[in-house]
Amino acid sequence: MLRWTTESARPPSGTWVREEVTRHGCPRGSACSGLALPPPFRLIPGGATPGDPPVSHNDRLPVRRSRFDDARPRRRRSHFDDDVENIDDRSVTRGRRPQPAPLPAPLDDVPVTGDRWSTWDIAQHGPAPYPKWLVTDLAAVDAELGVVKTGKEADVHLVQRAVPGTSQSCLLAAKRYRAAEHRLFHRDAAYLEGRRVRRSRETRAMARRTAFGRDLLAGQWATAEFTALSRLWRLGAPVPYPVQLHGTELLLEYLDEPDGQAAPRLAQLRPAPARLCELWDQLIDALMILIDEGLAHGDLSPFNLLVHRGRLMLIDLPQVVDLVANPQGHAFLARDIQIVTDWFTGHGLPAQIANAGLSRLQIIRDWPPVP
């Protein structure tokens, strides 16, 4: 047993020294020295001397909160499939499977040129065969060139997709739908009649306009336009080619003029009488394709018609209406026809030519003639 025997060697008050004891806490040579329990030594106050009164047996024993306490560290039993380097002890003690460590981010996730890599490999593609002008190489990058126009439910950006170091490139119109709270067009309930969602949970979320439901609505508008454009493109309707759909971003063929400017809207033009008649005939042909497919544009106006190198093009079809499934389908069709007819006749289209065109639309034989 180690003790301090002289006053000069006594340590200062408040310090601690080591005293050799038996495993159960009593000094060697005592009556209970044959028992074996706690640690092989303990700490006693450093100011104790041989003349001090003996320490009680309870004070010598280590403090134990319960009979299950054990100061000795325990080692978890190892298994043959343990991964010592990546194992997470917390997940083991909580009964969950250890998750692998995340992979490090690739160093080349941002291209040297452009703003992002092409998303062609992860997007839904347009109808095949793909146009020859379209760049489908996975090494291509997309570069933002500016904003083409802003609309009620989406903004259109000009994007150049090109393969660095080559001459392969094309211009695309990136239509990006806003979330429901940022849209300026909120009268969508009538347009959504007849559209069905498989899961009742999603239907309730969209009806209640929850955060999840608003995200579903934005995606539903993008999907509806992509589906309608793909369907009409296969039928030969005058619509831009739908390149791809990724989330709420719809990439379309960019309709431009020979000088590189965007194709003008019909509302911006003042065509000559002969040219006006040609555009009217093209519009009637396009409406006949939609009606034969049981569809109505739903928001047709001179602002949703482009004149691309002499050809009238239909754009902005997210609210396309099914004439059979939607109870208000024929009302939407009648409104579309009335709006464009008023614009053409207001810009000098003769009534005889207007009535001849309307008579070609088989679904509205009883349409009142233009005075």
Average pLDDT over residues 259-268: 94
Can you give the pLDDT at residue 260?
86
Average pLDDT over residues 248-272: 94
Residues 225 and 148 in one domain: yes
pLDDT at 152 over 90: no
Percent of the chain with pLDDT over 70: 57
Query: 324 to each of 230, 298, 319, how far by Cα in Å?
Result: 20, 14, 15
Residues 150 and 49 in one domain: no
Can you give the pLDDT at residue 6?
46
Residues 126 and 242 in one domain: yes
Can you give the pLDDT at residue 236?
95
Least confident of 55-59, 81-85, 305-309: 81-85
Least confident of 71-75, 252-256, 281-285, 347-351: 71-75
CA distance linking residue 297 with residue 304, whole number of Å: 10
Residues 153 and 25 in one domain: no
CATH number of domain containing 186? 3.30.200.20
Residues 244 and 310 in one domain: no
**The pair of three-digit structure tokens given for residue 366, joined into one six-digit string:** 């009883």
pLDDT at 256 over 80: yes
Please check whether residue 135 lies inside any domain of the structure: yes
Residues 123 and 231 in one domain: yes
Q: Vertex 126, ends 328 and 250: CA angle to 5°?
A: 65
pLDDT at 336 over 90: yes
Can you give the pLDDT at residue 112?
84
Residues 286 and 343 in one domain: yes
Please check whether residue 108 lies inside any domain of the structure: no
Which tops the pLDDT comparison, 211 or 318? 318
Which tops the pLDDT comparison, 271 or 51? 271
Average pLDDT over residues 327-335: 91
Please check whether residue 72 lies inside any domain of the structure: no
When the pLDDT of each residue in the chain is averaged and rounded to a whole number, the result is 77
Q: Cβ(41)–Cβ(18) under 8 Å?
A: yes
Average pLDDT over residues 115-142: 95
Please check whether residue 13 lies inside any domain of the structure: yes
Residue that is last in its domain, among 253, 280, 311: 253
Query: 304 to each of 56, 81, 83, 105, 299, how far by Cα in Å?
Result: 97, 64, 61, 43, 8
Residues 186 and 246 in one domain: yes
pLDDT at 69 over 90: no
Residues 196 and 127 in one domain: yes
Can you give the pLDDT at residue 129?
95
Please check whether residue 339 lies inside any domain of the structure: yes
pLDDT band at 91 (very low <50, low <70, confident <90, very high): very low
Percent of the chain with pLDDT over 90: 47
pLDDT at 136 over 90: yes
**The pair of three-digit structure tokens given for residue 330, joined into one six-digit string:** 């024929």
Q: What is the pTM (predicted TM-score) of this model?
A: 0.65
Average pLDDT over residues 105-121: 79
Residues 6 and 133 in one domain: no
Can you give the pLDDT at residue 280?
97
CATH number of domain containing 354? 1.10.510.10
Which domain covers residue 244, as residue numbers?
116-253
pLDDT at 356 over 70: yes
Can you give the pLDDT at residue 71?
57
Can you give the pLDDT at residue 218?
61
Residues 237 and 346 in one domain: no
pLDDT at 87 over 80: no
Say which DSSP state 262 is in. Answer: B
**Would you call 188 helix, strand, or coil by DSSP?**
coil
Q: How far is CA 57 from the centre of its chain?
A: 69
Can you give the pLDDT at residue 220?
80
Average pLDDT over residues 234-256: 96
Q: What is the number of structural domains in the chain? A: 3
Please check whether residue 99 lies inside any domain of the structure: no
Residue that is last in its domain, among 232, 253, 274: 253
Residue that is last in its domain, among 25, 47, 65: 65
Can you give the pLDDT at residue 361?
84
Residues 245 and 272 in one domain: no
Average pLDDT over residues 25-39: 54
pLDDT band at 101 (very low <50, low <70, confident <90, very high): low
**Would you call 335 helix, strand, or coil by DSSP?**
helix
Please check whether residue 111 lies inside any domain of the structure: no
Which tops the pLDDT comparison, 7 or 134? 134
Query: 123 to each of 128, 245, 271, 326, how far by Cα in Å?
Result: 14, 6, 39, 29
pLDDT at 113 over 80: yes
Please check whether residue 94 lies inside any domain of the structure: no
CA distance linking residue 154 with residue 219, whole number of Å: 12
Q: How far is CA 112 from the centre of its chain?
A: 24
